[in-house]
Amino acid sequence: MLTFYSLSCCIAQPTKGLQSSPSLPFFPGNPRKRGFPSKVLLRIFTVHSGSTGNSNGENQSQRINYAGMRLEETVEAKLGKLRLDSWISSRISGISRARIQSSIKSRLVSVNGKVVDKVSHNVKAGDKVSCTISELQPLRAEPEDIPLEIVYEDEHLLVVNKPPHMVVHPAPGNPSGTLVNGILHHCSLPTVATSSLEVLSDMEDISDDEESHSTLCSASVRPGIVHRLDKGTSGLLVVAKDEHAHAHLSKQFQQHTIQRIYVSLTSGVPSASMGRIDIPIGRDVNNRIRMTAIPGPIKQGQARHAASRYKVIEILAGGGSALVEWRLETGRTHQIRAHAKYIGIPLLGDEVYGGTKSLALSRLRPRIPPSCLSQLSLLLSGLGRPCLHALALGFTHPHTGEEIHFSRPPPPDFAGILSQLRKMGMEKV
């Protein structure tokens, strides 16, 4: 079967490097490419289903297919009213909300002995819920002629600048128009339907958790995407074309040696111009698509260690906003977004984590001229995503051993808001 290997560079870098390395000049010029031809013919890589993967069938089955899993539980009194699909998602770890909704629509869920097929059905304290998880529907990735910004390419890998609003790989609700579909077309590969994509279809809301994706990759029959950017996040990804490149980049990812820098625009300015946030992150029990910072000792199954370093690059609009650089020591789902909210500076445009237009305008209104407010309001209304961009990427080339580094400035939506905020006042930090 023909397939490809896709991998985003590791977000993290060693703590020592984070402490000693200077901040990246914002926005640097063209990416540096050392020791590579500018254009090399693509090579199609063929892999058979038995060529790689974990032979532990039981462990693989547990990770890939939850079909037939049953939940029988009574809704706790303290929760109040809650959507049925949301409540079930909070009770079963590792299964996507889309899978839960499919189970409900397939009439595999009952409340107080009565079958319910409406995902938005409200459950309340004392309701007895019975749920059987439906079969996992395999996903097929079709090649699509989608414009891609290829920052660098050789016969072993390519680096892509992902635009905002593009999903990395097919998942329930996003079967086409993804980066995977575009890469299949770019590399002249046929339709792909692999178990690794099936795994990811069941984990699509775990969007950038490095450990989850690395583990899933090793457990599946064939390697697949082991890390990705959120749909709304723009910026740099590296894609491996052969098995050696995939394995080598995966190792760098796991060892936190790949250099990755993010930048964001925030609502408000952090109290300290730079710092380290060491607060565990876990899934919000009331909203499965959202993570939350959970202070205190880590309780198994509730949260995982997460550490982020940030540095304010510019204070904007008299303190109503800031341009912030992020470097991550871990790669938890929505880590920057959850940590930014925890310290009181949610990202502009991040409705899920409190970075609403109303919050942004309330913090900006006392600090900027009224004449500027309407134009900024219009820009924020059209944003539709968190102002977060994967700015810089550096790694060791898996075949040559050369250190290569790339950077790309934020896209027009991010840059437009930044430009307006700078006009309202900008202070370098």
Q: Active-site residues: which are they?
A: 230
Residue with tokens 């016969």: 155
**How many CB atoms lie under 10 A from the CB of residue 258?**
23
**How many CB atoms lie under 10 A from the CB of residue 30?**
9
Cis ω for the linkage preceding 27 (within 30 of 0) = yes
Residues 6+ apart with CB under 8 A from 370: none
Identify the helix (H) or strand (E) that includes residue 274: strand 274-278
Residues 6+ apart with CB under 8 A from 204: 96, 98, 171, 172, 173, 174
CA distances from 93 to 71, 202, 285, 303 (A): 12, 11, 11, 12
Residues 6+ apart with CB under 8 A from 114: none
Separation of alpha carbons 209 and 206, rounded Å: 6
The interaxial angle of helices 57-64 and 210-219, nearest 10 deg, is 130
Dihedral over Cα of 94, 98, 101, 102: its sign: negative
CB 190 within 8 A of CB 143: yes
CB 258 within 8 A of CB 13: yes
Identify the helix (H) or strand (E) that includes residue 417: helix 412-423
Max CA pair span of the chain? 67
**How many CB atoms lie under 10 A from the CB of residue 284?**
18
388-396 and 128-132 strand pairing: unpaired
DSSP for 223-260, please give it: --------TT-EEEEEEE-SHHHHHHHHHHHHTT-SEE
By CB neighbour count within 10 A (0-12 exposed, 13-18 middle, 19+ buried), where does 113 fall? exposed
